[in-house]
Amino acid sequence: MAQMAQIIVDVPTMQTNQPYTYRIPDELTDQIKPGMRVVVPFGRGSRKVQGFVVGLDEQVDFDGTLKSIDSLLELHPVLNEELLQLAQWLAKKTFAFQITCMFTMLPNVMRSKTKRFLHLIDEVDEQTLFDLFNGQNEILFEPDQLDAKTLSQLLKLKREGKVEVTYQVANRAKAKTMLGITPKLSFEQYEEIRATLPHNAHSQNKLLSYLQSILNTTVKIADAEQQSDLKANIFTTGEHKGWLTKDPVEVYRSPSSKDKTRDHPFELNHHQAIAVEKISHAVNNDQAETFLLEGVTGSGKTEVYLQSIAQALNKGKTAIMLVPEISLTPQMVTRVKQRFGSAVAVLHSGLSNGEKYDEWRRIEKGEAQVVVGARSAVFAPLKNIGLIIMDEEHETSYKQDETPRYHARDVALWRSKYHGAPLVLGSATPSLESRARAQKGVYQQLLLPDRINEQPLPIVSVVDMRKELRQHAESNFSTDLLDALNDRLARGEQSILMLNRRGYSSFIMCRDCGFVLKCPNCDISLTLHMDTHTMKCHYCGHEEPIPRQCPNCHSAKIRYYGTGTQKVQAELEQKIPAANVLRMDVDTTRRKGMHEKILKQFGNHEADILLGTQMIAKGLDFPDVTLVGVLNADTGLGLPDFRASEHTFQLLTQVSGRAGRADKKGEVIVQTFNPDHYAIKLAQTQNFEKFFKLEMDLRHRGGYPPYYYTVQVMTSHEKEAQAAKKMLAITNWLRKRIAPDSIILGPTPQAIARVNRRYYYQIVIKYKQDQNIQSALTEMMQSVQKLSGQGFQISIDAEPQHFM
């Protein structure tokens, strides 16, 4: 009676969400578990591919032609039961393949090509040591060279906790190590040395005893100092005498803060207390309720999160706190770590692959109970989740813009249901989708209407830049803004300036003929970078010299148009020479740790003005900031995207919220060429309710979300006619299958029609209720795969965040 395994295989050209059935070799009966990764033969040539076991069958009458599992990639399941189910759901929801979803949940170092090592972590008998490990502690784990019998032995050792499979971290050389000490001699040899020591050699005597107590191990010097109560220099003496060796020991590359002080919960104000109460109630009763925590900027949402998390921990449960990548600042991380100490694991893109893997492993082993992280942290392998929090829930970065195109909010909702745990969505400016659900009672609304400091929200004034430009020469600064900046400088207060853009200037244009320099590969303007003195394409990376004359009409009046942070900084330094300016944008934060450094400097008052792009709009909490200036509120309003107003409103509200958060009053100055636009006017009064009503009305009339669901289908090809033709064929095919009242917009070329030498065409399907759309799109996805051989790329994006 053979055992069978259902396996999802990784074959890029033949992807399917149907598992294949493989036979489990007899030696491995009852040892293969769902979630394990295996090596299996696939196709006619029986080439070796990897796969995930997703199910097991006890099968009596098996058909003799079934292929068998060859080997294992690890000795343990890498995905647990919950995550396997989640992958299945996610694949369906995002029209992706299960295998892609499974990889998305795993740290990078666990990808198939990574070298694996087999480690001995406990004693084994000599025969085994010799047979399996060549007498060593660590050997390369080579799945394709192991037979079933050996695997069976290894699996047994794994179950006994004696071996472990680890992955080679790409930058292993850089793996963080500290110096440790290893005793070199035996117990008896140390005794012999002791007999020769002079009577007053107390430290050396003590060192000998200590070495005897740590035989066969390596102890970090810092730990050894503590345990033995000896000074570090005595270990050096020991080394010179040949008693011990100093060796590097690997430490967890945990991005832990050095700050070990634990802070204490604040006493909550009235509204905070109600919120924590309601959330805790749901935590205590295992209710998968969704809360929408709507709190104005500076209302103390974070404190609500932290105290609610504490509740979950008290109940012996775990918690996930999602924050947008950009607000995952050291400030934020420190706040959480100070509250929960080493129970916290942090996952974000700034970590090296090794660091990420270490944090992931701590979570998986149950060593961390609180996970703080950006989008992908929603897949953290925590067990027994008691609470999930999603801060700034309206942020578009929660949606992944490559396959699987998932929204972290949907995944959080799924896990909330699975664990019977509440989900808290927090924001000062919720997405229309979430706010509409709260309106309908699907989500429970919690309000924090006041700032903690009981100050009113900062006063926002709008400056009409059209008038300014008529009165003065071209400048990035209105008179009002310059006056206000000088005023803060005189008072020793700080200012934040936001420029919604990157690069020295966005593009260059000929003032005589209007020619704009564009990327030869993509259909978008090149960006001027003064640091490298080149024009760069932000889509494909193309780079060329700055032209001295117009390639079209040869005029010399080809100049930059628009503005960038470097240019603003230069003007600022010229207009207010006394001010210290810190610049924070993609260019100054590219190197690891720079983000942290700039914020720290600003926090220490080493600068008067923090000038930055959107990345400074969120989460920053500096008590001395009393002025926020927005240099160009309009950027983004003109984008061909129905969410342009919503995003502008959100951004202006968020950045305004950085001013006057402590006891000093805040002021905001917004410069714009569109002072009458409703998004700008309502952001001025920070009137979210009014904005919500107005925008909902517009969406209703236009037939946009949240009144309609949307799906975008994209086709691309190197030849424009091919892309267009295929898109049309797909459209006709779909039209026959979806509900008659579902609407198809397009096909149209995308706003940026050509990227990286490919042409893009799209359609957008809008629907209210459509029984067939899911199956039609799934069928399409399965069948268009073979088209990739003909140079087509086709993708489906459910609820796209950008319509470009």
Ligand X SMILES: Nc1ncnc2c1ncn2[C@@H]1O[C@H](COP(=O)(O)OP(=O)(O)OP(=O)(O)O)[C@@H](O)[C@H]1O
Site of interaction with ligand X (CB under 6 A):
266-269, 272, 295, 297-303, 428, 452, 619, 621, 657, 661
Question: Which residue in the set 408, 519, 607, 616 belongs to the binding site for Zn ion (CB under 5 A)?
Answer: 519
Enclosing H/E stretch for 509: strand 507-510
Closer CB to Zn ion, residue 244 or residue 524?
524
Distance CA 709, CA 333 (A): 35
* Interacting partner of 619 out of Zn ion, ligand X, none (Cβ under 5 to 8 A depending on kind): ligand X
Tokens of 342: 């080493």
* Interacting partner of 563 out of Zn ion, ligand X, none (Cβ under 5 to 8 A depending on kind): none
Closer CB to ligand X, residue 204 or residue 686?
686
Q: Count interface residues toward Zn ion (CB under 5 A).
A: 15
Asked if 539 is part of the footprint of Zn ion (rule: CB under 5 A), the reply reads yes
Contact between 411 and 403 (Cβ < 8 Å): no
Q: In the bound complex, what is the minimum distance in angstroms from residue 300's beta carbon to ligand X?
A: 3
Contact between 525 and 544 (Cβ < 8 Å): no
Closer CB to ligand X, residue 116 or residue 664?
664
Closer CB to Zn ion, residue 260 or residue 511?
511
Task: Tell whether 522 is in a known binding site.
Answer: yes
Torsion of CA 54, 59, 64, 69, to 10 degrees: 30
Tokens of 139: 């050997």
Question: Which residue in the set 169, 279, 508, 510 belongs to the binding site for Zn ion (CB under 5 A)?
Answer: 510
Distance CA 287, CA 305 (A): 17
Contact between 306 and 441 (Cβ < 8 Å): no
Distance CA 174, CA 176 (A): 6
Tokens of 500: 């919604």
Q: In the bound complex, what is the minimum distance in angstroms from residue 261's beta carbon to ligand X?
A: 15
* Interacting partner of 515 out of Zn ion, ligand X, none (Cβ under 5 to 8 A depending on kind): Zn ion
What's the half-sphere exposure (Cβ side, CA atoms, 13 Å) at 605?
Answer: 8
Q: In the bound complex, what is the minimum distance in angstroms from residue 474's beta carbon to Zn ion?
A: 20
8-state DSSP, 402: S
Q: In the bound complex, what is the minimum distance in angstroms from residue 266's beta carbon to ligand X?
A: 3
Closer CB to Zn ion, residue 80 or residue 552?
552
Q: In the bound complex, what is the minimum distance in angstroms from residue 562's beta carbon to Zn ion?
A: 17
Closest CA relative to residue 425, chosen from 273, 321, 270: 321
Question: Which residue in the set 555, 685, 775, 783 belongs to the binding site for Zn ion (CB under 5 A)?
Answer: 555
* Interacting partner of 297 out of ligand X, Zn ion, none (Cβ under 5 to 8 A depending on kind): ligand X
Distance CA 779, CA 764 (A): 18
Closer CB to ligand X, residue 74 or residue 392?
392
Q: In the bound complex, what is the minimum distance in angstroms from residue 520's beta carbon to Zn ion?
A: 7
Closest CA relative to residue 591, chosen from 350, 318, 392: 350
Q: How many CB atoms lie within 10 A of CB 766?
A: 19
Enclosing H/E stretch for 248: strand 244-250
Closer CB to ligand X, residue 293 or residue 763?
293
* Interacting partner of 537 out of ligand X, Zn ion, none (Cβ under 5 to 8 A depending on kind): Zn ion
Query: What Rg do the C-alpha atoms of the chain give, in angstroms?
Result: 30
* Interacting partner of 522 out of ligand X, Zn ion, none (Cβ under 5 to 8 A depending on kind): Zn ion
Closer CB to ligand X, residue 102 or residue 319?
319
Closer CB to ligand X, residue 58 or residue 267?
267
Task: Tell whether 513 is in a known binding site.
Answer: yes
* Interacting partner of 266 out of ligand X, Zn ion, none (Cβ under 5 to 8 A depending on kind): ligand X
Enclosing H/E stretch for 180: strand 177-183
Coil vs helix vs strand at 276? helix
Q: In the bound complex, what is the minimum distance in angstroms from residue 268's beta carbon to ligand X?
A: 5
Question: Which residue in the set 116, 542, 737, 802 belongs to the binding site for Zn ion (CB under 5 A)?
Answer: 542
Distance CA 39, CA 406 (A): 28
Going residue by residue from 211 to 250, which x/- string records binding to Zn ion, judged by CB under 5 A? Answer: ----------------------------------------
Q: In the bound complex, what is the minimum distance in angstroms from residue 508's beta carbon to Zn ion?
A: 11
Question: Which residue in the set 85, 203, 552, 778 belongs to the binding site for Zn ion (CB under 5 A)?
Answer: 552
| Alpha helix stretches (DSSP H) within 72-125 | 81-94, 98-105
Closer CB to ligand X, residue 437 or residue 661?
661
Tokens of 79: 């995905």
Q: In the bound complex, what is the minimum distance in angstroms from residue 451's beta carbon to ligand X?
A: 8
Stretch that binds Zn ion, among 122-130, 379-387, 543-551, 606-614 (CB under 5 A): 543-551
Contact between 91 and 98 (Cβ < 8 Å): yes
Give the CA distances from residue 396 to residues 400, 414, 424, 585, 798, in Å, rounded to whole numbers and listed in that order: 9, 19, 17, 19, 14
Task: Tell whether 537 is in a known binding site.
Answer: yes
Contact between 620 and 329 (Cβ < 8 Å): yes
The sheet that has 344-347: what strands, in order across it?
344-347, 370-373, 318-322, 385-391, 423-427, 290-295, 444-448
Closer CB to Zn ion, residue 700 or residue 757?
757
Distance CA 434, CA 427 (A): 10
Paired with 536 in beta bridges are 527, 543
Give the CA distances from residue 102 to residues 97, 348, 778, in Å, rounded to whole numbers and listed in that order: 9, 19, 18
Task: Tell whether 510 is in a known binding site.
Answer: yes
Distance CA 137, CA 129 (A): 8
Q: In the bound complex, what is the minimum distance in angstroms from residue 376's beta carbon to Zn ion?
A: 27
Asked if 752 is part of the footprint of Zn ion (rule: CB under 5 A), the reply reads no
Asked if 534 is part of the footprint of Zn ion (rule: CB under 5 A), the reply reads no
Q: In the bound complex, what is the minimum distance in angstroms from residue 695's beta carbon to ligand X?
A: 20
Task: Tell whether 101 is in a known binding site.
Answer: no
- The contact set with Zn ion (CB under 5 A) reads 510, 512-513, 515, 519, 521-522, 537, 539-540, 542, 550, 552-553, 555
Residues contributing to the annotated binding site for Zn(2+): 510, 513, 519, 522, 537, 540, 550, 553
Residues contributing to the annotated binding site: 510, 513, 519, 522, 537, 540, 550, 553
